Amino acid sequence: MTNVPEKDNVTPLRPTRPCPECGKPSARATYPFCSQRCKDVDLNRWLSGSYVIPGSEEDANPDDDER
């Protein structure tokens, strides 16, 4: 017999948190998301420009100051 700990006795590495996409509990393999699908949805939003970090007015047109 081997000394393999039972799955219920393993302390999780991180506390589960709600998935930022759907609110279900997060999974270890796709943390902080609950599934690969939710992870891919978030990545698509970043790549398509849905998430934007706002800049200041000064950063909007740096070429205007050179003219």
Mean pLDDT of the chain, nearest integer: 80
Kindly indicate the confidence band of residue 41, based on its pLDDT and cuts at 50, 70 and 90.
very high
10 annotated binding-site participant: no
Determine, yes or no, domain membership for 24. Answer: yes
Residue 16 known to bind ligand = no
19 assigned to a ligand binding site: yes
Query: CATH no. for residue 46?
Result: 3.30.50.10
The residue range of the domain holding 38 is 15-50
57 in a domain, yes or no? no
Instruction: Return the HEC string of 21-60.
Output: CCCCECCCCCCCCCCHHHHHHHHHHHHHCCCCCCCCHHHH
Q: Helix, strand, or coil here: 18?
A: strand
34 annotated to a ligand binding site: yes
Per-residue pLDDT at 32 exceeds 80 = yes
pTM to 2 decimal places:
0.58
The answer to the question of residue 30 being in a domain is: yes
Question: End-to-end CA distance of the chain, in Å?
Answer: 80
